[in-house]
Amino acid sequence: MKPRSFNRVEIDTGALQANFQSIQQTVGQQVRIMAVVKSDAYGHGLVECAQAIYRAGGRTFGVAEVWEGAALRRAGLQGEIVVLLGGDSESYGEIIKYSLTPVVFDIDFITGLSHEAVRKNTEVGVHLKVDVGMGRLGVLPHQVESHVSLLKRLPGISLSGVLSHFPAADETGAVGTTQEQLALFRNVVTQLNIKEAEAVVAHIANSAGLINFPGSHLDMVRPGISLYGYYPDASPARAQASAPALHLQPVMGFKTRVLQIKELDAGCGISYGHTFVTRRKSRIAVLPVGYADGYLRKLSNRAEVLIDGRRAPVCGRVCMNATMVDITDLPRVLVGDEVVLLGRQGDENITADEIAGWLESISYEVLCLFGSFNERVYV
């Protein structure tokens, strides 16, 4: 039998499917959903999550790079796979071989892809990226006409989508800015002629957009963090007010176990640098998890874990492979007991948003960290 790690990340595919279906109910059956599974599905597992979403009815998937799309095809995934970062000249063959839909914004890439598609006697659909205020990838609005004209002229390539991205749809103070960007994108779409508009899928709404700006749903939405059970601005109350039909369940849990328990007198230093010193006779549990497992050093003397359904604070610096917690007030803890770092145990719950607060980060990063550094189990 292969030895297993003390630590494991549990992925609830049923919760993932329920989130997908709740998002579909929120936007309506007439709006397509691009399930964003890039970056290993935010640490939840690229292939496993895409397959679970497909079983729930998803037929369009968003990945960051060509190799992710190729991996999904090799795993047997059907449907449309949109490559959000596009590609380069070395990826033409893979794009064509695996029937991927690249996002485009570069004339040289578009021209080269056309030549390769003609050479292989096929046609590739592409989505044109427009920058309406993100300041990242995409052509500017005044460049759209020339790029669309080029796509019309070139053989072997066709415009099947036009997209943009909101930079601040999750910020309450940027409502006016987001509405202006939406209006600008709508204007870009309107400038496409009638025949073309019927064939082109327009999409701009990320999770924050689909929740907070129903007018941004257009033909398709691109949920990412909401698929995995979290609200983009860490505010379920705001989301429920904007989208009452949306009910999200966290998909990921992160668990370890108690490796050792020791009793220490007052005045004993814990871990590197002795940043924590016991102030009373204490029971300290050693956990076999640390920053090599994505449980970052920033959590030292900040985080809490769940043992026996109760919270226990992290004490001392988090090490590469070990973390200490104070269990003095939890008398029933034994070596081998389950410890929840992320998720629910009994009536208590530690969310990715709470951990993100300790890390001074966002839930997205927490999920990517934990999922990418640990063994995953699908339940």
Active site residues per annotation: 38, 272
Closest residue by Cα to residue 50 from 31, 30, 26, 34: 34
Residues contacting 8, CB < 8 A, separation 6+: 254, 255, 256, 374, 375, 376, 377
Host H or E run for residue 196: helix 194-199
- From the list 162, 169, 165, 134, the residue with the least C-alpha distance to 147 is 162
CA 250 to centroid of chain Cα atoms: 12
The per-residue DSSP string of 73-109 comes to HHTT--SEEEETT---GGGHHHHHHTT-EEEE--HHH
Helix (H, G, I), strand (E, B), or coil: what is residue 234?
coil
Beta bridge partners of 157: 124
Strand 376-378 relative to strand 8-11: parallel, antiparallel, unpaired? parallel
Q: HSE of 360 in the Cβ direction (CA atoms, 13 Å)?
A: 4
Phi then psi for 107, rounded to 5 degrees? -65, -40
Question: Which two structure tokens, joined as six digits, stand for 225?
Answer: 């963090």
CA distances for 225 relative to 209, 232, 319, angstroms: 12, 6, 29
- How far is residue 165's CA from residue 176's CA, in Å, rounded to a whole number? 15
Q: Rounded to an integer, what distance in angstroms lies between the CA atom of residue 315 and that of residue 300?
A: 7
